[in-house]
Amino acid sequence: MKLLLVEDNERVARFVCKGLAEAGHTVDHADNGRDGMYHAVSEPYDAIVMDRMLPGGIDGLAIVEALRQQGNRVPILVLSALDGVDDRILGLKRGGDDYLVKPFAFGELLARLDALMRRSQVQTADTTLALGDLSVDLLAHKVTRAGAAIALQPREFKLLEYLLRHANQVVTRTMLLENVWDYHFDPQTNVIDVHISKLRQKIDAPFATPLLKTVRNAGYMLTDRP
């Protein structure tokens, strides 16, 4: 995937570029708003990581807005040190697809970027999701694995659906909290881990190969790859 990083902090930029390259992406980097704008309009990217406060006279959100006005629908992840809920809403309202507050864990950034790019690739209205021998009927709310029916609570079902929609991708705890429960605060307890382990009890424990894996320092991944 070809990515553009618009970020003026040299150390953060180097760290992110290196990480994204290691994850198999090609990264262009612009360290000011003017260059960022130039790159974004002149080359096709699979996703853009945009810092909000930039030198060069152009604010990151202004670039996002300009791109959207031109009809450019590239997925954009907005980075910002501003953490107010209103700042988030503003960032999304002006055309950002996701919003990540600095400082961030690299795993979080990578997971969210993958989710964004996946979303732009396939916008499916599937009625069934499947991974390996696990299959979920979204209409009938039925879960089966290797032919055996599994009974899930409504929220567990939603959690599994989200994991399945992002199968083979790292999903962070914050992403789960925001997308499955619609909560936007950090619980002080490991409540997400407990929910995951409960789900694991139901979909993995009775079977030989586990699907729901823990990714160290990042989150979880539902995958049938070893």
Partner 1 sequence: MLKLPTFSARTIAVGYGVVSLLVLAMFAGPLWYAWHTNVEQVRTELLRSDAQRLANLFTRSGEQALANAIDSQVIGTNDGVRKIMLLAAPDGSRIAGNLSAWPQGLPDRDGLCSSTIHVDGKARRIEAMRVILPGGYRLLVASNLNRFDELERLFVYGLLACALTVLVGAILGGMLIRRALLERVQGISQTTAAIIEGKLSRRLPEPHDGEELRLLTVTVNRMLDQIEQLVTSVQDVSNSIAHDLRTPLSELRARLEELAITRPDTEETFAEIDAAITDIDRVMGIFQALLRLAEIDSGSRRNGFVEVDLARLGAEVTEFYLPVAELKEIDLSFHGGDALTVVGDPLLIAQALSNLVENALKYAPEHGAIAVSAQREAGDVLALSVADDGPGIAEDERPKVVERFYRVDGSRGTPGVGLGLSVVSAVARLHGGSLRLDDNAPGLRATLALPVHKLSARSDNPDAASGTAVRA
Task: Enumerate binding residues for partner 1 (CB under 8 A).
Answer: 83-86, 88-89, 92, 103, 105, 155, 181-191, 194-195, 197-198, 217
Three-state DSSP state, 50 = strand
The residue with tokens 């586990």 is 210
Residue 145 tokens read as 């694995």
CB of 198 to partner 1, least distance (A): 5
One-letter amino acid for residue 75 of the chain: P
Which of 42/217 has CB closer to partner 1?
A: 217
Which of 66/150 has CB closer to partner 1?
A: 150
Which of 14/184 has CB closer to partner 1?
A: 184
Centroid of chain to Cα 210: 23
CB of 99 closer than 8 Å to CB of 88: yes
H helices of the chain, in order, are: 10-22, 33-42, 60-69, 85-93, 106-121, 154-165, 173-176, 191-203
**CA-to-CA distance for 184 and 85, rounded, in angstroms?**
9
CB of 218 to partner 1, least distance (A): 12
CB of 101 to partner 1, least distance (A): 8
CB of 105 to partner 1, least distance (A): 8
CB of 70 to partner 1, least distance (A): 25
Which of 117/192 has CB closer to partner 1?
A: 192
Which of 44/182 has CB closer to partner 1?
A: 182
Residue 100 tokens read as 């990540």
CB of 83 to partner 1, least distance (A): 5
Count Cβ neighbours within 10 Å for each residue of 102-121 and write b for 16 or more, e otherwise: eeeebbbbbbbbbbbbbeee
Which of 83/137 has CB closer to partner 1?
A: 83
